[in-house]
Amino acid sequence: MKKYNIAVVGATGMVGRTFLKVLEEVNLPAESYTLYASARSAGTKLPFMGTEYEVKELNENSFDGIDIALFSAGGSTSEKFAPIAAAKGCLVIDNSSAWRMDPEVPLVVPEVNPEDIKKTKGIIANPNCSTIQAMVALRPLQLKYGIERIVYSTYQAVSGAGVGGYNDLKNGINGEAPKKFNHPIFSNCLPQIDVFLPNGYTKEEMKMVNETRKILGDDAMRITATTVRVPVFDCHSESINVELKTPFEMAELRACLEAAPGLIVEDDIDNCVYPMACNIVGKNETYVGRIRRDESVDNGVNLWVVADNIRKGAATNAVQIAEKYIEMVESGEMEAYHA
Ligand code: A2P
């Protein structure tokens, strides 16, 4: 089996550090790991794989000899360096939003559309955190019943806004004014994630709409979203209302979700069991509960979907893309990416 030279770009960041944890857990067939960040943290030592790795400054030569690079260093770094890496024959798995809607770039959740990995021209995009967990729950229903319409309402953790978001909640408890958000997040819900667009939706909301259509391969799917930041440190929760194309039996629909890869059904209302953010921190899977018929429409169902936004919503999904890519190359299903 080939051994791969793997780079982590943005290794000192919140997602970058989780990349390292997930990489330790999955143990890819790696020849080497190289950790990159900006000049600010060059020389920093990070514990990884039972030893210490020195972080190097990212530059145009950083991808010489690298086979796979996991990026989470912000949109502008990805815009500049992902094409440089790809031109050197390095497959980029990018966590930023820079390349997601590029028609040449596959947008992948490995449980949902692994075949799209084969279409890569050097960059594969990791979807938005809120989109990823929704896809894991919705794909099995799409395959079995078809999807007519989706209504997303999210309850998103402050860790999605990085360290600044974390600090606003932590310090807000002591009455400090927010620095990252426009308004206090402690004891509050903010119906704004990212900036507003001309149609009155936020960028986060339109990411969910557009990325869902791209991943599920249906440009005309009817979707609406309201995304809300809530005073929770980790894990995004989502209420998802779906209208299916065909009638369903509840028991059969539940069995379909139970059989879905990467999805865990936690739904026992007699015992007050349902997915909760506080129980899902550090988990790689997506959880679904409160599965019930929407009695107000034909073929409607309501779901409550929770996942760790830094793990499955970012680092875990990206590492799983790398795992799937390696598996496909090794099984001969696809050729290894080369420039
Ligand atoms: P650094 O620690 O040197 O600033 P977060 O999203 O948690 O803020 O993390 C962003 C990550 O991206 C950090 O590892 C940060 O490194 C890295 N980063 C930011 N700008 C650049 C850049 N121009 N080149 C390389 N890495 C960058």
Q: Which amino acid is at 161?
A: A
Please report where in the chains the tokens 């950083």 appear, as a residue. 62
Q: What is the pLDDT of residue 1?
A: 85
Is residue 105 in some structural domain?
no
Q: Which atom of ligand 1 is nearest to the CA of 55?
A: 3
Q: What's the CATH code of the domain at 60?
A: 3.40.50.720
Q: Which atom of ligand 1 is nearest to the CA of 15?
A: 7
DSSP 250-266: HHHHHHHHHTSTTEEE-
**pLDDT, tens digit, for every residue of 196-221?**
999 999 999 999 999 999 999 999 99
- Pair 23, 137 in one domain: no
Q: Which amino acid is at 324?
A: K
Is residue 106 in some structural domain?
no
- Beta-carbon count within 10 A of 324 CB: 18
Contact 67, 3 (CB under 8 A): no
Cα radius of gyration (the chain): 20
**Portion of the chain with pLDDT greater than 70, in percent:** 100
Ligand 1 within 6 A of CB of 313: no
The answer to whether residue 315 scores a pLDDT higher than 90 is yes
pTM, full prediction: 0.98
Mean pLDDT over 160-186 rounds to: 97
Residue from 38, 40, 81, 159 whose mutation best tests the ligand 1 pocket (most atoms within 8 A of CB): 38
Could you give the number of structural domains in the chain?
2
Mean pLDDT score of the chain: 98
- Pair 144, 209 in one domain: yes
Is residue 336 in some structural domain?
no
Q: Is the dihedral of CA 22, 235, 95, 318 positive or negative?
A: positive
* Cβ neighbourhood burial of 112 (10 Å; 0-12, 13-18, 19+): buried
- Pair 162, 295 in one domain: yes
**pLDDT, tens digit, for every residue of 25-78?**
998 999 999 999 999 999 999 999 999 999 999 999 999 999 999 999 999 999
| Residues of the domain holding 92 | 4-98+314-331
Ligand 1 within 6 A of CB of 13: yes
Is residue 38 in some structural domain?
yes
**pLDDT, tens digit, for every residue of 9-18?**
999 999 999 9
Is residue 339 in some structural domain?
no
Token reading at 231: 């005073």
**Portion of the chain with pLDDT greater than 90, in percent:** 99
The answer to whether residue 247 scores a pLDDT higher than 90 is yes
Ligand 1 within 6 A of CB of 38: yes
Is residue 49 in some structural domain?
yes
57-81 residues labelled b (16+ CB within 10 A) or e (exposed): ebeeebbeebbbbbbbbbeebbeeb
The answer to whether residue 224 scores a pLDDT higher than 90 is yes
- Pair 49, 156 in one domain: no
Q: Using the mean position of ligand 1's atoms as its centre, give its distance from the Cα of residue 181 in Å.
A: 20
Contact 211, 100 (CB under 8 A): yes
- Pair 296, 326 in one domain: no
- Pair 296, 327 in one domain: no
- Pair 256, 320 in one domain: no
Active site residues: 129, 236
The answer to whether residue 257 scores a pLDDT higher than 90 is yes
Q: What is the pLDDT of residue 174?
A: 96
Contact 315, 17 (CB under 8 A): no
The answer to whether residue 103 scores a pLDDT higher than 90 is yes
Q: What is the pLDDT of residue 125?
A: 99
The answer to whether residue 24 scores a pLDDT higher than 90 is yes
Q: Which atom of ligand 1 is nearest to the CA of 39?
A: 3
Q: What is the pLDDT of residue 308?
A: 99
